[in-house]
Structure 1
Amino acid sequence: MPTHALVIGGTRFIGRHAVSEFLDAGYDVTILNRGDHDNPFADDDRVAHIEGDRTSESDLRRAGLRVDPDVVIDCVAYKPRDVHAATEIFADADAYVYVSSGAAYGEERIPKREGETPLESCSVEQATDDSEGSYGARKAEGDRAVFAAADRGVNAMAVRPPVVYGPHDYTERFAYWVDRVESHDRIVVPGDGSDLWHLAYVDDVASALRIVAERGTAGEAYNVGDGHAPVLREWVDLVAAACETAVETVFASERELGTVGLSTDEFPLYRGYPHLLDTTKLRGLGWEPTPHAETIPPTVAEHRNADRTGRELGPEREAETRLIEILETVA
């Protein structure tokens, strides 16, 4: 069994949980990152740290020479060239696992399946772009780099999560709803609350990375996501239960939101067309998702001890309050 894992990234969110996952499985772990963020494993003798920029091929090669890892988990490859470089440098590793994304899928299907649902195309311009609009295309091209590496004999694989939530989530998309539920008795939910955006608990993503590294097939991609995919109004209820509070949800259509200058797209985790990933393939490796009764309480607990609110990602509370008053008047 492999014994040493190199986690590229490793101190913030998915990488942080991946480090813990591999430690719990008995691996020695080395983190490669630029050192721009606090290292939660600084006092853990089982975790070594190499400072370096993963976009620098020389830094990657230096890390490979120092560590000679059995497993490489690539959490921060955001451009195809990053994946091409890593799969060449770590070609002799027992496993290279690329953290891709459900955004790599290029067609709306319910559910989206590996090897069946087409991926996003990626132009030369998109491949080197840094904008959010090219994210899915760049991740898809990273997947194709994994497939090409596997064709060369590299044991390279990809894991595709949708939006990830859990403790230490710096994106704050889920935090927005926790903050709203904890701070107010009444909150606005866009539409009728039935929009569906499949999410994945961060520890489940971390376990998927380990299981794919140990049992996956070269050249394959694996979707990961929660076992049950709640619609948005269900998420609000689940968060309220974890917060041990009650909240009234006020549903508002696009036209009603427009009366105060808002739109459905301004709310985190709103998606006009359902986004659901089929996880059958990953389950076939022995992976199982964690029930929401075990994922949301620790997410809420860590939220309470952090300074992240997600408020800047959604509507101002003043506009929300005005809308609730308007809807009460016309009711």
Structure 2
Amino acid sequence: MAHALVIGGTRFIGRHLVDDLLAHDYEVTLFNRGTHENPFAATDGVEHVQGDRTDDGDLAAAAAVDPDVVFDCVAYFPRDVRQATRVFDDVDAYVYISSGSAYGREDIPKREGFTPLCECTDEQATTDEPETYGPRKAEGDRAVFEAAADGVNAMGVRPPIVYGPHDYTERLDYWIDRVHRFDRVLVPGDGTNLWHRVYVEDVASGLRVVAEAGEAGDIYNVGDQRAVTMRGMVELIDESLAAVDPDHEAGVEIVTAGPRELATADLELDDFVLYRDPPHMLSTEKVAALGWESTPLSEAMERTVADHLESDRTGRENGPDREDEERVLGVLDTV
């Protein structure tokens, strides 16, 4: 039985990763600061080492559990990756969670080894700001390349926007909440905006598949193998709500609004979460060649919607107030 060390492992991606590893007969040790509730506290086959991944002594203590595989879910700075690949230089696989934001050119789709990565200055590498996230993840990828060149079996996974149960970002919750509460939903633009997403359980299985079959020094995109537009996403949420909530009747009216209409309520296109211009799409051929595949969209969204209904998440802070949307809808009704 293989032994996996998961750095992180209690909140979102890491939580699903632990479930996936247990389902595939791994023993698991979690390494984190213990600042969040541990859902695996009473789970057989899961141990916990408390510590700070930025502390050399704590990381060495985690290495003492002698893992076969290390999954790094919370490496947000290049130094984190460099430190981890030094400490875990003899494991069978070290897998880093990177991001589709690491890409530095707007190719459609973005491909591993072809689309250039973001540049990263020394200042960006140590600055925890949203605008430095992509550069920091790209520099983490380069740290993986460097480690692999030195003989470490290091590799990585690049997801786009991740959604699914236990998503504390509440990005998709905003749209589920809107479709669940209202018969008319305002969508920015013309509804064809595309920001590639990936179901969280598929990120988890992708991490495991890469650890088991990936090549040292390679980074693999993971994303829904059928991508949908923003309109398609809202329609899918509507269908999923009807499937899991007997009180919801499918048939939400999607009303699109451009910049001029939105301006009547002092709104802009990117005030709406999950809107992105230009489109963002990742190729997933490389990871699929390892035997990975994504969950059908209807299944993924139904599980996501069911979790939303059981939670207290609304995501309402991630988008405009309904009153402002109603102002726009009113303007459109008079056109």
TM-score tier (shorter): over 0.9
Please give the alpha-carbon distance, in whole angstroms, between the structure 2 residues aligned to 1:54 and 1:264. 38
Partner of 1:239: 237
Please give the alpha-carbon distance, in whole angstroms, between the structure 2 residues aligned to 1:246 and 1:240. 7
- Superposition deviation, residue 246 in structure 1: 2.4
Aligned pairs for 1:248-287 within 5 A: 248-287=253-292
Please give the alpha-carbon distance, in whole angstroms, between the structure 2 residues aligned to 1:76 and 1:144. 17
Partner of 2:154: 156
Partner of 1:3: 2
Please give the alpha-carbon distance, in whole angstroms, between the structure 2 residues aligned to 1:15 and 1:199. 17
Partner of 1:203: 201
Letter matched to residue 101 of structure 2: A
Contact 2:264–2:327 (CA under 8 A) maintained in structure 1: no
Please give the alpha-carbon distance, in whole angstroms, between the structure 2 residues aligned to 1:155 and 1:292. 33
Partner of 2:116: 118
Partner of 2:191: 193
- Superposition deviation, residue 55 in structure 1: 1.8
Q: Give the secondary structure class of the aligned counterpart of 2:29.
A: strand
Please give the alpha-carbon distance, in whole angstroms, between the structure 1 residues aligned to 2:116 and 2:151. 24
- Superposition deviation, residue 312 in structure 1: 0.4
Please give the alpha-carbon distance, in whole angstroms, between the structure 1 residues aligned to 2:238 and 2:265. 26
Unaligned runs of 5+ residues in structure 2 are: 243-249
User: Structure 1 residue 32 and structure 2 residue 37: aligned?
Assistant: no
User: Structure 1 residue 91 and structure 2 residue 89: aligned?
Assistant: yes
Partner of 1:100: 98
User: Structure 1 residue 51 and structure 2 residue 50: aligned?
Assistant: yes
Partner of 2:246: none
Letter matched to residue 315 of structure 1: P
Partner of 1:213: 211
CA-based RMSD: 0.7
Contact 2:21–2:208 (CA under 8 A) maintained in structure 1: yes
TM-score with structure 2 setting the length: 0.97
Please give the alpha-carbon distance, in whole angstroms, between the structure 2 residues aligned to 1:174 and 1:59. 35
Query: 1:252-304: CA deviations, max 9, x gaps?
Result: 00111011100000111101111010010001101011101210111001101
Q: Which is further off, 97-106 or 315-324?
A: 315-324
Please give the alpha-carbon distance, in whole angstroms, between the structure 2 residues aligned to 1:262 and 1:180. 17
Partner of 1:17: 16
Please give the alpha-carbon distance, in whole angstroms, between the structure 1 residues aligned to 2:57 and 2:113. 33
Please give the alpha-carbon distance, in whole angstroms, between the structure 1 residues aligned to 2:228 and 2:128. 31
Q: Which segments of structure 1 move beyond 2 Å, counting only runs of 4 or more?
A: none
Please give the alpha-carbon distance, in whole angstroms, between the structure 1 residues aligned to 2:167 and 2:200. 9
Contact 2:202–2:294 (CA under 8 A) maintained in structure 1: yes
Q: Give the secondary structure class of the aligned counterpart of 2:15.
A: helix
Partner of 2:247: none
Letter matched to residue 79 of structure 1: F
Please give the alpha-carbon distance, in whole angstroms, between the structure 2 residues aligned to 1:217 and 1:294. 30
Query: 1:212-242: CA deviations, max 9, x gaps?
Result: 0000000000000001110000000000000
Q: 1:166 aligns with which of 147, 164, 167?
A: 164
- Superposition deviation, residue 247 in structure 1: 1.1
User: Structure 1 residue 308 and structure 2 residue 307: aligned?
Assistant: no
Aligned residues: 328
Please give the alpha-carbon distance, in whole angstroms, between the structure 2 residues aligned to 1:58 and 1:138. 24
Query: 1:67-117: CA deviations, max 9, x gaps?
Result: 110000000000000000000000011000000000000000000000000
Query: 1:174-228: CA deviations, max 9, x gaps?
Result: 1111010001111110000100001000010000000000000000000000011
Q: Give the secondary structure class of the aligned counterpart of 1:124.
A: coil
Query: 1:111-144: CA deviations, max 9, x gaps?
Result: 0000000000000000000000100000000000
Please give the alpha-carbon distance, in whole angstroms, between the structure 1 residues aligned to 2:35 and 2:253. 41
Q: Give the secondary structure class of the aligned counterpart of 2:30.
A: strand
Unaligned runs of 5+ residues in structure 1 are: none
Partner of 1:128: 126
Q: Identity of aligned pairs, percent?
A: 60
Please give the alpha-carbon distance, in whole angstroms, between the structure 1 residues aligned to 2:115 and 2:145. 16
Please give the alpha-carbon distance, in whole angstroms, between the structure 1 residues aligned to 2:26 and 2:279. 38
- Superposition deviation, residue 45 in structure 1: 1.9
- Superposition deviation, residue 57 in structure 1: 2.0
